[in-house]
């Protein structure tokens, strides 16, 4: 919550309101500076400061009396209005007649009272920020009621009618209290002054200052207006106690009413714009009518102050008794949604060993980071959702950086296709749970990191409770349903999270934190609704440049470290977009959606993202099973087989004899090319059956008489076309010679894709499974029709693992299978009979 750059440059060049460096936000300095006429008058008065100039002091009193319509003897000058408050407190409060103040309120009178043993009664402000005048009156007991109007630090006002009623009722009490109205900030508002009421209310004192709208805080000049009987008890100052340059500058300000009006108008416009921006950000603040706003930081304000100070912005100190709030003055700048500077998420209460200090020495050498930053990392608990393309490099860098505890959520196993981008996994971890694979790599990289494994599918039942055990969440999910779940669970758990997304050659990253100090936003401010499923392909469908994952994940890791340690500016409120093909980074400001409904509960995310069970179409789409298709392809009248996937998918695996016609081209080619004959029988296929179903529907609507959708697509064909039962396994051959995918059948009800064929790596996997007694041990080899059986490599493997039965699978381009199983015994090749269904 700072806006460093905009704060410095919004004021116009040469403007009298131009800001100075460093920027001061709540030290009572006026952003408008000393008016030119006042500056000149004070400069001239310095040359005459060798004497007291009593006549100039009297001239100022006369000017004030004339302006406010009161007798001269009702005006008393002080070296700052605080002096008047101090004297009034001593004069009118006692141990049995308290000083009654608002809470929160300006602390100077209360400090003076407590210093001198006076009683103090604090009365909370009303919900609208006004003073509870009736409660203050009831507590007065003949002492002093102090009211700042507008109130300091909230900037809120109490109505003129309420103040008049207070003074009138106070005068009617048996022991009437003195009422002091501090109007230091009144000139920023449209509220009428209480000075005209002084003539009819003997117990009323009104104080003013030249520090605020006039910009003379450093010259220390204020005044009080009251009837003489009251002023006499307030230690009226001798004329020589008021600085001569201050008097001269004040006289110039009184004569320059146009400048005062200009400053009031500028402040009003700035306050309205600033509060409107705070509303858009969802920040809580006081309904100010002054030149300041009290903002709820939702964390210790001292941390925010220290962070802002590092960026050249001074915001004084936390308000006494309000350790989580900051009072910010209007500073003649327009707030813009720039990256936020936030305090650290975790404490630095951790001890580094000598080994750790040496390990992280390059971090500790950084002035902005240092030992404290490294201790914060060690103390941090970070949960990473997904050990995939984004989670893998993020985990590696956070582990290397020294994050003390890393949690990993994933339920998938390592597949050979993962290794192109998921750099935390290796060839020797194929088939392992990704969480286990990641833990082994992290342990080898940094044994000081504790790794918590969550081998589960994140869902509504576990997300919020799981998140509450960590300081920060990293969202590396690859689907919208999980992303919305992560977002909503983080909101409910009150946790910040770093988000990233990749697709083909583009990546995005940001930070979301609904309850960020000073206000925040969440993923729904960026994407209020998920896109239709057909517009949100996964990496397995659309592809992704492997190194892109590292580029985006490094940003995510950097954001995580900044949030944990409190250094730098985060991406909260900013979307980073990376275009790898053009090597361009763009930064788009994000704002809180004022129409967005608050998140109060989790919901059905698959249904939200259109991933639930699809409704049955009005006209059922004819389908054909892989087994039925196989029979037709071997008949004398095979159908025309059209594959509507993309060319890159076609290159990986295909059904021999099919024609490639991507979906978009197919829909635009009805009645043309391969789809010219509406009477011919067609079978349409894609990866899983969804895209092909759209084409079948379009063809049926266009008058095609015999068209069917391959049920389950190419994947179903590969998994079920040639089942082989051998040693408790079902082996299924995909459409590319030289590869094999397996479905373990030791738990047929939960059968799943197990791994891509890779003999050297799978030996260890099968041996471990055999050791657990789950399935017999079998090593699968893959051959093309031209490769001899068994090959020299096969024999070498068999000799190295004599307990293993070796299944040799050979395929020709038409999926005709030749399968033989053998083992080595006493140097001889012994074949094992195979049992088919």
Neighbours of 652 (CB within 10 A): 14
What is the spatial distance between Cα 739 and Cα 732, in angstroms, rounded to a whole number? 10
The DSSP output letter for 295 is: E
CB 661 within 8 A of CB 675: yes
Length in residues, the chain: 837
- Cα first-last separation, the chain: 69
Query: Across-strand partners of 728?
Result: none
Query: Contact 815/656 with Cβ under 8 angstroms?
Result: yes
Q: How far apart are CA 474 and CA 408, in angstroms?
A: 10
Using CA atoms, how far apart are residues 7 and 5, in angstroms rounded to an integer?
5
Q: Find tokens 């501090």 and name the residue.
A: 182
Residue 785, token pair as written in the block: 């029709």
DSSP sequence for 380-433: -EEEEE-SSTTHHHHHHHHHHHT-SEEEEE---B--GGGTTT-TT--GGGTTSB
Local structure of 204: helix, strand or coil: strand
The Cα–Cα gap between 642 and 694 comes to 13
Query: What is the number of other CB atoms lying within 10 angstroms of the CB of residue 525?
Result: 20
CB 150 within 8 Å of CB 157: yes
Catalytic residues: 539, 686
- Which secondary structure element, helix H or strand E, spans residue 584, and what is its range? strand 584-589
Asked if 279 and 594 count as a contact pair (C-beta separation under 8 A), the reply is yes
Q: Environment class of residue 701 by beta-carbon count within 10 Å: exposed (0-12), middle (13-18) or buried (19+)?
A: exposed
Rounded CA-CA distance 250/245 in Å is 9
Q: Three-state DSSP class for 821?
A: strand
Rounded CA-CA distance 405/461 in Å is: 23
What gap in Å lies between CA 363 and CA 372, rounded to an integer? Answer: 10
The residues with which 779 forms a beta bridge, in sequence order, are: 806
- Give SS3 for 194: coil
């Amino acid at each position: 919550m700072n806006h460093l750059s905009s704060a410095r440059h919004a004021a116009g060049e040469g403007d009298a309101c131009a800001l100075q460096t460093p920027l001061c936000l709540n030290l009572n300095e006026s952003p408008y500076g000393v008016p030119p006429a006042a500056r000149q008058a004070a400069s001239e008065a310095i040359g005459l400061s060798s004497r007291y100039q009593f006549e100039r002091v009297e001239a100022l009193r006369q000017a004030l009396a004339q302006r406010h319509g009161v007798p001269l003897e009702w005006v008393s000058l002080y070296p700052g209005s605080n002096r008047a408050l101090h004297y009034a407190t001593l004069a009118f409060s006692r141990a049995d007649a308290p000083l009654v103040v608002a809470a929160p309120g300006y602390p100077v009178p209360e400090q003076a009272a407590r210093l001198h043993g006076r009683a103090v009664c604090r009365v909370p402000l009303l919900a609208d920020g006004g003073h509870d005048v009736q409660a203050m009156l009831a507590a007065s007991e003949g002492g002093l009621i102090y009211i700042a109007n507008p109130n300091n630090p909230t900037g809120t006002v109490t109505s003129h009618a309420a103040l008049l009623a207070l003074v009138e009722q106070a005068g009617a009490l048996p022991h009437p209290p003195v009422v002091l109205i501090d109007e230091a900030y009144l000139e920023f508002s449209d509220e009428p002054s209480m000075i005209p009421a002084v003539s009819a209310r003997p117990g009323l004192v009104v104080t003013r200052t030249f520090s605020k709208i006039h910009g003379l805080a450093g010259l220390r000049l204020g005044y009080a207006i009251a009837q003489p009987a009251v002023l006499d008890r307030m230690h009226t100052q001798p004329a020589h106690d008021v600085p001569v340059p201050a008097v001269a500058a004040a006289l110039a300000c009184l004569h320059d009413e146009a400048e005062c009006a200009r400053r009031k108008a500028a402040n009003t416009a700035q306050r309205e714009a600033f509060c409107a921006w705070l509303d858009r950000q969802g920040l809580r603040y006081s309904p100010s009518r002054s030149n300041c706003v009290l903002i709820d930081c939702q964390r210790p304000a001292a941390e925010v102050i220290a962070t802002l100070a590092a960026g050249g912005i001074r915001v004084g100190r936390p308000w006494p008794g309000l350790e989580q709030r900051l009072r910010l003055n209007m500073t003649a700048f327009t707030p813009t949604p720039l990256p936020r500077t936030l305090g650290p998420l975790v404490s630095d209460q951790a001890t580094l060993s000598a080994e750790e200090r040496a390990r992280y020495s390059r971090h500790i050498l950084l002035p902005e980071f240092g030992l404290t930053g490294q201790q914060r990392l060690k103390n941090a608990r970070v949960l990473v959702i997904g050990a995939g393309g984004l989670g893998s490099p993020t985990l590696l860098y956070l582990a290397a950086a020294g994050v003390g505890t890393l949690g990993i959520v994933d339920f998938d196993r390592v597949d050979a296709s993962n290794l192109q981008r998921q750099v935390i996994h290796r060839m020797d971890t194929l088939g392992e749970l990704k969480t286990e694979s990641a833990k082994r790599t992290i342990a080898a990289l940094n044994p000081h990191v504790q790794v918590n494994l969550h081998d589960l599918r994140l869902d509504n039942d576990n997300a919020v409770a799981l998140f509450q055990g960590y300081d920060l969440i990293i969202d590396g999910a690859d689907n919208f349903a999980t992303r919305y779940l992560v977002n909503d669970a983080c909101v409910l758990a009150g946790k910040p999270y770093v988000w990233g997304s990749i697709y083909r050659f583009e990546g995005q990253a940001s930070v979301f934190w609904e309850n960020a100090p000073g206000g925040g936003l969440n993923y729904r401010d960026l994407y209020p609704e998920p896109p239709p499923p057909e517009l949100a392909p996964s990496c397995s469908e659309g592809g992704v440049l492997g190194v892109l994952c590292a580029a985006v994940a490094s940003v995510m890791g950097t954001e995580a470290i900044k949030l944990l340690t409190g250094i730098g500016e985060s991406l909260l409120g900013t979307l980073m977009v990376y275009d790898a093909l053009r090597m361009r980074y763009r930064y788009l400001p994000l704002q809180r959606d004022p129409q967005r409904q608050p998140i109060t509960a989790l919901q059905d995310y698959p249904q939200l993202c259109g991933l639930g069970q699809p409704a049955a179409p009005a006209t059922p789409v004819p389908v054909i099973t892989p087994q039925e298709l196989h029979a037709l392809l071997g008949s004398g009248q095979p159908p025309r087989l059209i594959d509507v996937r993309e060319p890159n998918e076609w290159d990986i695996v295909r059904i021999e004899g099919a024609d490639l016609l991507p979906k978009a081209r197919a829909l635009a080619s009805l009645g043309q090319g391969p789809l010219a004959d509406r009477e011919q029988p067609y079978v349409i296929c894609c990866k899983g059956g969804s895209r092909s179903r759209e084409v079948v529907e379009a063809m049926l609507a266009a008058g095609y008489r015999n068209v069917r959708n391959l049920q389950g697509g190419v994947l179903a064909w590969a998994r079920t076309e040639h089942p082989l039962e051998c040693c408790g396994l079902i082996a299924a051959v995909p459409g590319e010679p030289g590869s094999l995918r397996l479905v373990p059948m030791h738990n047929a009800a939960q059968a799943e894709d197990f791994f891509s064929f890779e003999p050297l790596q799978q030996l260890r996997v099968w041996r471990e499974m055999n050791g657990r007694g789950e399935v017999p041990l079998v090593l699968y080899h893959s051959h093309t029709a031209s490769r001899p059986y068994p090959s020299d490599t096969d024999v070498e493997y068999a000799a190295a693992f004599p307990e293993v039965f070796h299944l040799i699978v050979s395929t020709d381009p038409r999926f005709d299978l030749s399968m033989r199983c053998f083992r080595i015994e006493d140097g001889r090749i012994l074949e094992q009979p195979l049992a088919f269904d």
